Amino acid sequence: MSFAPLFASGPIVTFHAFAALFALVLGSLQLILAKKGGMRHRIVGYVWVALMAGIALSSFGIHALRIVGPFSPIHLLSIFSLCTIVFSIWSVRRGNINAHRKAMLWLFFAALIGAGLFTLLPGRDMHQVLFG
């Protein structure tokens, strides 16, 4: 395993990948270990949401897969992720914990893990990192 392909891809890809890895670890801990609703849950949640927003926003600077001009379907996922973050925060502030929970779970499993699995396909940077 070597991180050289990430560093060679430039600062946006490097930030994007390391933010996603950190969000994966932090999100997993939040789901498995954290007591929901407490101050620790909120603080970790703020950091996780900031990471997810950074991941989504940084994707607009990555154009390795071009389908429509410089964009690909992953950019639609990024827009949807940003909208989901806003919806989730709005929901929890209105007391709709169920909607907040569903939105955060969707972000974790679909936007983070689901999209992350596609980065392991041959020819992608993370495939190079893990499998050489």
End-to-end CA distance of the chain, in Å?
A: 6
* Side-chain-side CA neighbours of residue 39 (13 Å): 0
Query: How far apart (Å, rounded) are the C-alpha atoms in residues 84 and 102?
Result: 10
pTM score, two decimals?
0.90
Q: What percent of the chain has pLDDT over 70?
A: 97
pLDDT per position as a tens digit, 54-96: 999 999 998 776 667 677 788 899 999 999 999 999 999 999 9
Residue in the structure block whose two tokens are 């690909």: 72
What lies within 8 Å, CB to CB, of 53 at 6+ separation is 82, 85
